[in-house]
Amino acid sequence: MNDAAHDLHAPHFIGIGGAGMSGLAKILAVRGASVSGSDSKESETVLALRALGATVHVGHAAEHVPDGTSSVVVSSAIRADNPELAAARERGIPVVHRSDALAALMGGRRALAVAGTHGKTTTTSMLAVALGELGLDPSYAIGGDLDAPGSNAHHGTGEIFVAEADESDRSFHKYAPEVAIVLNVELDHHANYASIDEIYESFETFVGRIVPGGTLVVSADHDGARELTSRVTGREDLNVVTVGAAEDADVRVLSVVARGMTSEVTVVLDGTELTFTVSVPGRHYAHNAVSALAAGVALGVPAADLAKALGAYTGVRRRLQLKGEAAGVQVIDSYAHHPTEMTADLEAIREGLDGAGRVLVVFQPHLFSRTQQLAEEMGRALALADASVVLDIYPAREDPIPGVTSELIIDAALRAGAEVTAEHSFAAAPALLAGLARPGDLLLTMGAGDVTNLGPAILDNLRGGLEHLANVASNV
């Protein structure tokens, strides 16, 4: 394939295993491009890309950029001194940001972009699944896997392209959607935004990219989203549809009723009352589904059909994903890393359990800058759990900040009345957590880093405890 602005017939992806990058690489490979790339380690995602014909190297080296490379695709996480990036510049190979590559892939399709500080991946996934259930075969690019490695993206035969629109580095300014969703607006990504006003300005720019006659679906409940709405309502060629429980919402949520680990949602849309099931727990996920419903209707999908199809969505990897059960303890993985997300997931779990057991959390803070700004709020969120273990900060792309450690969160949690323990050894955490848990408990591995890898190890420790008890009993 070839794009007028960015030649993507033979792209090389630096960091190809990342959630956003791997999806684009998959779509390009399916479209017939000669895809290559590199990543820091082997993974299921890397294996899935190789199965599609991509050449993927482990480690970064200049010689990994093959002859004939038409462009080198990077994300904001790639450092300027990366040897493959340096090689591309020395050889005059165009360097393309992943957002430009995604914009090129969306060209010629009816684009639906999902933005917001929280909930983007879930809402994008809901739309991808529901539209697929209806036989519309959309293309999509999501920041997480639906159910298997490589399922974060799809090249569909339909006219709709659903994409997660990332505000963290302002890359969502590159897209020109027919329909855009803004779920919420809060201050985050402190390394790139100095104030909430800068966040508002960035979201305004994104809304300004909606094509003339297009639609903005925006929360009527979230203060930041309402402020954004007030800033963009003067545009005559923009349809604004507000959604939420607020009385003035265009698509109003009448009720969200918990049914164990699912919810029953009732809304009024265009004067018609609809009730449908959301197959994941929590009020916040129900509201995401309503935003997805409103956006699909804006594209012309019948509301009743889409509402029913949304029930087919059963979750995204790392979004309250059940990892397993052992010794009567359920282990669930949560990607929550911002206080709002942490609070929402813990409240959803509490509501689903309905007092039947304790909620335990192992939390790994993500980024030094986020911890520096939001440690107090993170600590208060952890107070919603019965007990928490806090690991060291996962740095991702950042260098340490003097004085910023997970102790800031622990101190805040203690002030909020939480029962909290520090664990500086990642390897020791599974045994510690298995020792804390008892039958009937639910244990969350929470954070955006590699804390997700603890789930299987915790389950193994829980099973090992059962085997030990059985051996003791047999020897009595």
Q: What is the pLDDT of residue 144?
A: 62
Question: What pLDDT is recorded for position 355?
Answer: 62
What is the structure's pLDDT at 86?
96
Q: Does position 351 have pLDDT exceeding 80, yes or no?
A: no
Which DSSP state fits 444?
Answer: E
DSSP-derived secondary structure letter, 398: P
In this prediction, residue 1 has a pLDDT band, given cuts at 50, 70 and 90, of: very low
Block residue for tokens 């030094």: 368
User: 449 or 177: which carries more pLDDT confidence?
Assistant: 177
Going by pLDDT thresholds of 50, 70 and 90, the confidence category of residue 307 is very high
E-only strand ranges, 40-127: 55-58, 71-74, 95-97, 110-115
Q: Is 164 a catalytic residue?
A: yes
Extended strands (E) in 55-174: 55-58, 71-74, 95-97, 110-115, 139-141, 153-154, 160-164
- For 383, list phi and psi in degrees, rounded to 5: -65, -15
Please tell me the distance from the alpha carbon of residue 446 to that of residue 433, in angstroms, as a whole number. 13
Helix, coil or strand: residue 421: strand
Note the pLDDT tens digit of each residue in 63-100. 999 999 999 999 988 988 999 999 999 999 999 999 99
Supply the Cα-derived Rg of the chain in whole angstroms: 23
Mean pLDDT for 114-133 is 90
Q: Cβ distance 22 to 30 under 8 Å?
A: no
Range ranked top by mean pLDDT from 60-69, 150-159, 181-190, 440-449: 60-69
C-beta separation of 190 from 141 below 8 A: no
DSSP 279-296: SS-SHHHHHHHHHHHHHH
Which one of the listed residues 117, 123, 164, 445 is annotated catalytic? Answer: 164
Tell me what the mean pLDDT of segment 86-115 comes to: 95
CB of 381 closer than 8 Å to CB of 414 = no
The predicted structure's pLDDT at residue 398: 86
Give percent of the chain above pLDDT 90: 69
- E-assigned strands of 119-238? 139-141, 153-154, 160-164, 179-182, 215-219
Least confident of 19-28, 50-59, 341-350, 376-385: 341-350
pLDDT band at 348 (very low <50, low <70, confident <90, very high): confident
Q: Which of 45, 69, 117, 121 is catalytic?
A: 121
- Quick one: pLDDT at residue 474? 47
pLDDT for residue 469: 41
Neighbours of 108 (CB within 10 A): 9
What is the rounded average pLDDT of the residues 425-441?
A: 93
Catalytic residue among 26, 84, 120, 124, which?
Answer: 120
pLDDT at 284: 84
Q: What is the mean pLDDT of residues 391-406?
A: 92
d(CA 383, CA 286): 24
Name the pairing type of β-strands 387-390 and 319-326: unpaired
Query: In this structure, are residues 286 and 310 in contact, taking their beta carbons and an 8 Å threshold?
Result: no
Q: What is the mean pLDDT of the chain?
A: 89
Instruction: Write out pLDDT tens, residues 365-384.
Output: 999 998 998 999 999 999 99
Q: How confident is the model at residue 233 (pLDDT cuts 50, 70, 90)?
A: confident
- The token pair at 454 is 């603890």
Does 382 or 263 have the greater pLDDT score? 382
pLDDT at 269 over 80: yes
**Would you state the structure tokens that stand for residue 350, as one six-digit string?**
């509490």
pLDDT over threshold 80, residue 282: no
- SS3 of residue 334 by DSSP: strand
Does residue 1 contact residue 63 with C-beta atoms inside 8 Å? no
Question: What is the per-residue pLDDT for 470?
Answer: 47
- Calpha distance 78→18 (Å, rounded): 11
Instruction: Report the alpha-carbon distance of residue 9 to residue 430 in Å, rounded.
Output: 45
* Reported confidence tier of residue 413, pLDDT bands at 50, 70, 90: very high
Beta strands in 116-208 (DSSP E): 139-141, 153-154, 160-164, 179-182
Beta bridge partners of 38: 14, 57
> Is beta strand 215-219 parallel, antiparallel or unpaired with respect to 55-58?
unpaired
Q: Confirm whether 157 is a catalytic residue.
A: no
> What is the average pLDDT across 161-170?
90
Q: What is the pLDDT of residue 326?
A: 93
**What pLDDT was estimated at residue 466?**
55
- 473 pLDDT band, cuts 50/70/90, is very low
- CA proximity to 186, closest of 206, 207, 167, 161: 167
Condensed to tens digits (0 to 9), the pLDDT of residues 174-216 reads 999 999 999 999 877 666 777 889 999 999 999 999 999 999 9
pLDDT reported for residue 151: 74
Q: Is pLDDT of 220 > 60? A: yes
Query: How many whole angstroms separate alpha carbon 472 and alpha carbon 420?
Result: 31
